[in-house]
C-alpha cells in the first residue's frame, strides 16, 4: 500500500467515473431488459461496449508521450533496469486530480463516490461489472479450445468431479493427485488448460495479469466464474492431506518472512488490528475474525483499476509493494500463501466476485 497516494486517488476518481458511466449507459439498460434472452443480448452488447472503451483508453494512454526522466540525483540503490521493462500494472492515472482540491477532500470525495457505488450495487447485485467477466468465464469453461479442441467442462476436475463447478471453489486450495500438488482455483484452471487442452502457457506466465483498465485475462475470468458458483457458501479449503497441511504451514511461514530492501513481510501491514496505511484500513489477515470478512470477496472488481483482480494478482501486488519482483503465477509461494489465507478465513462467507476500492 506504500505509495498508493501518488496514483490511487486520481485513479479511483477516474475509476468511479468510469464505473458510474458504465452503470448508467450500459448496465442499467441490461438490467432493465425483460426476458433472459434480452438480458443475454444486452450483456453481450454491454461487454463489447466495455471492451471498446477499454481499447480506446489503452490507445489514448499509449499515444501520450512518456514523461521524460527528471534531472535529479540518481537513486542511492544500485539497480540495473530489467532488460524488458514490464508493462506496468500501475499505469499512470487516466485523470488528473481536480486542481485546488486537498488530499483529504479528494479522499473524502473518493470515499463518498465509493459508498454511493456500493449502495447501488447492494440494491442490485447484478450490477457488479465483475459478473460480465464471470459470464465470459462461463463461456470459456464450456468452449472447446486449444490444440486438442476440448473444453474444460468435459476434462477439468476442480476437486468435485470432472466438469463440476458448483461448490468447488469453496474447497480450494486442495491437493490434486493427478498433479501431485496443492492448487488454488487459478493454478488448477491453468493446469487443466495445459494438460487437457494442450495450451502453451509460456506467454501467459510472462504476463498473467491485466494492466490498469484492461479486462481480467481469460484464466482470471474463468476463476471469477468458478468463485461465483460458490458464492453464498462458506470457505472450507481442504486440510486433510499431508500436503494440504504443509502448504498452509508454509504459507504461514511466508506470511511472517521478512525480506527485500524494505525488510517487509505480509505481517508488516497485516498482523495487527485497526491499523492503516495512509487512510487505507489494513485487515489483520492472520486473525480469523478479520480474515473471514475479506478473503471470501476475492476475486473482486477493483474500482481503482477498473478490472477484476484475482487472488494470484493481489498477492503479486503485495510483493510489488514489498519491492520484490513479479511473483510467478501458481508458484509454491502464491499457492502456499493462498492456502494460509483461506485456512485463516475458514467458515467465512464467500461473496465473490466482490467489489473493492
Partner 1 sequence: MKKHFILAALAAVLATPVSAQETKIDPLHADVVMKFAFSQAPKDWAGRVDQDETLKVCSAARNAPSAADAEKIMAREKAKIKYPDDGKLMGDWKQGERWAQSGYGMRFTDYPPRNPNGGNCYACHQMTQAEVSYGTVGPSLREYGKIRKYAEADVKAVYEKIYNAHAAFPCSLMPRFGSNAVLTIDQIKDLVALVMSPESPVNK
Binding of residue 190 to partner 1 (CB under 8 A): no
Are 127 and 33 within 8 A, CB to CB?
A: no
Cα–Cα distance between 11 and 9 in angstroms, integer?
5
Binding of residue 62 to partner 1 (CB under 8 A): no
Binding of residue 241 to partner 1 (CB under 8 A): no
* Closer residue to partner 1, CB minimum distance, 46 or 93: 93
DSSP 238-254: ---SHHHHHHHHHHHHH
Are 117 and 16 within 8 A, CB to CB?
A: yes
Binding of residue 285 to partner 1 (CB under 8 A): no
* Closer residue to partner 1, CB minimum distance, 124 or 263: 263
DSSP SS3 for 107: helix
Q: Strand order of the sheet with strand 354-356?
A: 307-309, 300-302, 354-356
Q: What are the phi and psi torsion angles at 296 (to 5°)?
A: -70, 0
Binding of residue 65 to partner 1 (CB under 8 A): no
Binding of residue 51 to partner 1 (CB under 8 A): no
* Closer residue to partner 1, CB minimum distance, 74 or 161: 74
- Which among 84-92, 110-118, 138-146, 189-197 is the span making contact with partner 1, rule CB under 8 A? 84-92
Cα–Cα distance between 319 and 327 in angstroms, integer?
7
Binding of residue 109 to partner 1 (CB under 8 A): no
Cα–Cα distance between 357 and 8 in angstroms, integer?
9
Cell of 141: 469453461
* Closer residue to partner 1, CB minimum distance, 76 or 100: 76
Are 254 and 269 within 8 A, CB to CB?
A: no
Q: How far is the CB of 21 from partner 1 (least distance, A)?
A: 27
Binding of residue 75 to partner 1 (CB under 8 A): yes
Cell of 273: 488490528
CA neighbor of 225 nearest in space, from 132, 113, 100, 97: 132
By CB under 8 A, the residues from 203 to 232 that bind partner 1 are 206
Q: Per-residue contact track with partner 1, 251 to 280, x per CB under 8 A?
A: -xxx-xxxxxxxxxx-xxx-xx-xxxxxxx
Binding of residue 4 to partner 1 (CB under 8 A): yes
Q: How far is the CB of 73 from partner 1 (least distance, A)?
A: 6
Chosen residue from 28, 150, 236, 249 binding partner 1 by CB under 8 A: 249
Q: Establish whether 266 is a catalytic residue.
A: no
* Closer residue to partner 1, CB minimum distance, 62 or 83: 83
Amino acid at each position: 500500500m506504500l505509495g498508493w497516494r501518488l496514483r490511487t486517488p486520481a485513479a479511483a476518481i477516474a475509476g468511479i467515473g468510469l464505473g458510474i458511466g458504465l452503470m448508467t449507459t450500459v448496465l442499467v439498460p441490461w438490467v432493465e431488459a425483460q426476458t433472459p434472452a434480452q438480458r443475454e443480448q444486452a450483456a453481450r452488447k454491454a461487454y463489447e461496449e466495455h471492451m471498446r472503451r477499454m481499447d480506446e483508453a489503452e490507445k489514448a494512454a499509449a499515444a501520450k508521450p512518456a514523461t521524460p526522466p527528471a534531472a535529479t540525483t540518481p537513486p542511492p540503490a544500485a539497480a540495473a533496469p530489467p532488460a524488458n521493462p514490464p508493462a506496468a500494472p500501475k499505469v499512470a492515472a487516466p485523470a488528473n486530480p481536480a486542481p485546488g482540491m486537498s488530499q483529504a477532500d479528494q479522499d473524502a470525495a473518493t470515499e463518498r463516490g465509493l459508498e454511493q457505488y456500493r449502495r447501488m450495487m447492494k440494491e442490485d447485485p447484478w450490477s457488479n461489472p465483475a459478473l460480465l467477466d464471470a459470464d465470459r468465464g462461463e463461456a470459456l469453461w464450456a468452449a472447446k479450445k486449444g490444440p486438442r479442441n476440448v473444453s474444460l467442462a468435459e476434462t477439468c476436475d476442480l476437486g468435485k468431479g470432472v466438469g463440476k463447478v458448483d461448490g468447488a471453489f469453496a474447497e480450494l486450495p486442495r491437493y490434486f493427485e493427478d498433479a501431485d500438488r496443492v492448487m488454488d482455483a487459478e493454478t488448477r484452471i491453468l493446469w487443466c488448460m495445459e494438460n487437457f487442452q494442450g495450451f502453451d502457457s509460456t506467454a501467459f506466465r510472462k504476463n498473467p495479469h491485466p494492466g490498469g483498465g484492461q479486462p481480467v485475462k481469460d484464466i482470471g475470468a474463468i476463476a471469477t466464474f468458478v468463485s461465483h458458483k460458490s458464492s453464498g457458501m462458506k470457505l472450507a479449503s481442504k486440510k486433510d492431506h499431508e500436503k494440504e497441511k504443509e502448504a498452509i504451514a508454509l504459507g504461514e511461514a511466508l506470511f511472517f518472512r521478512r525480506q527485500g530492501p524494505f525488510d517487509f513481510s505480509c505481517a508488516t501491514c497485516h498482523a495487527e488490528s485497526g491499523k492503516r496505511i495512509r487512510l487505507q484500513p489494513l485487515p489483520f489477515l492472520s486473525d480469523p475474525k478479520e480474515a473471514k470478512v475479506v478473503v471470501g470477496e476475492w476475486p473482486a472488481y477493483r474500482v481503482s483499476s477498473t478490472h477484476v483482480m484475482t487472488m494470484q494478482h493481489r498477492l503479486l501486488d503485495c510483493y510489488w509493494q514489498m519491492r520484490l519482483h513479479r511473483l510467478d503465477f501458481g508458484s509454491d509461494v502464491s499457492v502456499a500463501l493462498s492456502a494460509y489465507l483461506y485456512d485463516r478465513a475458514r467458515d467465512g462467507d464467500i461473496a465473490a466476485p466482490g467489489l473493492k476500492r
